[in-house]
């Protein structure tokens, strides 16, 4: 049995990985794999499932861990983040967190490329490429190059958010990769700015305190809420696209997906209008809290709607 000290240490490292974030990303990989399996009638083996889910979980956790390590100086200043494991010195020295993150990187890449042994060579190669791309975009492009320098940080750094869906898709098939696969990844990509900007608007002063130029922190409140409303509208319109993709002349998803996308999208638009007309902290926080379930609902609808 684990000792109390060991159990406590595991919990701290688990917290370091930001599980609420990687849970959702793993779910998008799961949803993309199930959708591809339903459309092309390809059975997914237990070994492949283990590599998909384990790889994406490790990769997402690695990215969160290494960005936490890089941001440890500003995290110690911001009210929202000062109690995270590194700034609170529950993990000390900080290099322990870095080493843990690098181990997770290695695990994620091994899992992804190993899909070649459970499906086909190119499935694993593509999965590994998308994993490497996602890690590089999140850790290097977003965290190291852009986060503290550009208000476009979350846009260019948001490509990594679509990587798990691409990994889940290519682990099953590479057919339709550049239409259906890309669109499912795109659902995550267009969701990220609205999700993050709603959060940063709520914690605007925190970001200004550490001179991190998140768009909604450096722009006026009026401009910020317009940007949030505009990106929400773009996201909702984009969410309809999967309904119009066909395979051998037949729609890949049925009306269940369309109606779900319309209804859930309408709710998101109402919330964004609330933020636009009454830009209070409560409104932006509510939009932020509803955004994660919204993305999960879209992927559930893709799985259900792709059953023929």
Q: Give the per-residue pLDDT at 1.
A: 53
- Other residues' Cβ atoms within 10 Å of the Cβ of residue 90: 16
What is each CA distance from 70 to 85, 99, 139, in whole angstroms?
A: 13, 12, 9
Q: Are 306 and 269 in contact (CB under 8 A)?
A: no
Percent of the chain predicted with pLDDT > 70: 99
Q: What whole-number distance in Å separates Cα of residue 39 and Cα of residue 77?
A: 49
Residue 257 belongs to a domain:
yes
Q: Is residue 1 part of a domain?
A: no
**Domain containing residue 100:** 9-305
- Write the CA distances from 131 to 109, 111, 274, integer angstroms: 7, 10, 37
CATH (domain of 245): 1.10.357.140
CA proximity to 22, closest of 50, 62, 49, 51: 62
CA dist 106 and 136 (Å) reads 13
220 within domain boundaries: yes
pLDDT < 70: residue spans in the chain: 1-2
What pLDDT score does 248 carry? 86
Q: For the CA atoms of the chain, what is the radius of gyration?
A: 20
Q: Report yes or no: 295 and 24 within 8 Å, Cβ to Cβ.
A: yes
DSSP label of 160: G
**2, part of any domain:** no
Residue 179 domain flag:
yes
CB neighbourhood size of 21 (10 A): 15
- Both tokens of 58, joined, read 């490790």
* Bridge partners, residue 250, by sequence: 247
Is residue 4 domain-resident? no
Whether residue 3 lies inside any domain: the answer is: no
pLDDT at 174: 95
Total domain count, the chain: 1
Contact present, 106 and 115 (Cβ < 8 Å): no
pLDDT tens-digit profile of 130-176? 999 999 999 999 999 999 999 999 999 999 999 999 999 999 999 98
Contacts of range 206-210, beta carbons closer than 8 Å, 24 or more positions apart: 206/78, 206/79, 206/80, 206/81, 207/78, 209/77, 209/78, 210/74, 210/77, 210/78
What's the pLDDT score for residue 2?
Answer: 63
* Assigned domain for 200 exists: yes
């Amino acid at each position: 049995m684990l000792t109390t000290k060991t159990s406590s240490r595991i919990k701290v490292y688990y917290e370091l990985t930001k599980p609420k974030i990687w849970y959702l990303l793993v779910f998008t990989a799961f949803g993309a794999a199930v959708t591809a399996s339903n459309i092309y009638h390809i059975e997914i083996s237990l070994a492949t499932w283990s590599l998909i889910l384990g790889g994406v979980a490790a990769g997402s956790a690695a990215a969160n861990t290494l960005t936490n390590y890089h941001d440890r100086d500003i995290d110690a200043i911001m009210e929202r983040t000062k109690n995270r494991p590194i700034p609170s010195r529950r993990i000390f020295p900080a290099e322990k967190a870095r080493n843990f993150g690098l181990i997770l990187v290695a695990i994620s890449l091994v899992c992804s490329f190993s899909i070649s042994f459970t499906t086909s060579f190119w499935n694993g190669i593509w999965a590994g490429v998308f994993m490497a791309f996602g890690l590089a975009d999140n850790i290097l492009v977003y965290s190291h190059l852009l986060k503290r320098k550009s208000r476009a940080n979350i846009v260019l750094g948001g490509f990594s958010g679509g990587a798990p869906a691409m990994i889940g898709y290519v682990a099953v098939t590479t057919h339709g990769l550049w239409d259906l696969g890309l669109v499912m990844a795109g659902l995550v990509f267009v969701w990220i700015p609205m999700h993050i900007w709603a959060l940063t608007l709520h914690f605007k002063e925190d970001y200004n305190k550490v001179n991190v130029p998140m768009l909604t922190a450096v722009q006026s409140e009026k401009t910020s809420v317009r940007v949030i409303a505009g990106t929400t509208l773009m996201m909702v319109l984009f969410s309809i696209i999967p309904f119009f993709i066909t395979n051998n002349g037949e729609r890949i998803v049925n009306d269940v997906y369309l109606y779900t996308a319309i209804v859930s999208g309408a709710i998101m638009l109402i919330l964004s209008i609330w933020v636009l007309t009454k830009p209070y902290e409560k409104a932006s926080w509510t939009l932020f809290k509803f955004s994660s379930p919204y993305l999960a609902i879209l992927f559930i609808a893709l799985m259900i709607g792709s059953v023929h």
